[in-house]
Amino acid sequence: MSSAVGDEMELRRRKVQQDAEQKKIEEQEALQSQHVLKDKATGEGDVDELDKEYVEYFKKKYGENPRSDIMGIDGCALFVLIYIVVAGVVFTIIFLSMYARHRDIFANMPLPGFK
C-alpha cells in the first residue's frame, strides 16, 4: 500500500509547525518564570497602578536601596538608644511628679559633716 506524496508532505509540515508552536510556548513560559523570579527578588509582584506609582516615586526620590538607619545608628545600638530615651522620659516624669508633691523633702535633711 502506498500513500499519496501530498499527504506525507502535509503531515511533515504540520509536525514542523506544531514543534515550532510548542517551542514558542516553552520560551514564553521560561520568560514568565524569569519575570516571576525577578519580581519576587525585587519585591514587585502583582502591583496595581497606584502602588506602582508610589514605588517609582520613592525609588526616584530615595534611590534603589534606602537606608534603614537613624542618625547612622542601626540594629541593637538603635534599640538601646531608644530604650534609654524612653526610660529617661519616664523617670523624669516620675521624679517631677514626686517633686511637685514633696518639695521640701531635701530641705530638712541633715548634711553629713555639718553641725
Q: How many domains does the chain have?
A: 2
Residues 6 and 38 in one domain: yes
pTM of the model: 0.38
Q: Could you tell me the residue range of the domain that residue 35 belongs to?
A: 1-44
How does residue 3 score in pLDDT terms, banded at 50, 70 and 90?
low
Q: Report yes or no: 69 and 63 within 8 Å, Cβ to Cβ.
A: no
Q: Check: CB of residue 47 under 8 Å from CB of residue 55.
A: yes
Give 44-57 pLDDT, tens digit per residue: 556 688 888 888 88
Residue 70 bridge partners (DSSP)? 73
Give how far Cα 105 sits from Cα of 42, 59, 80, 98, 101, Å. 62, 58, 33, 10, 10
When pLDDT is cut at 50, 70 and 90, the band that residue 75 belongs to is confident
74 is a domain residue:
yes
Q: Which helix (H) or strand (E) holds 76?
A: helix 76-101
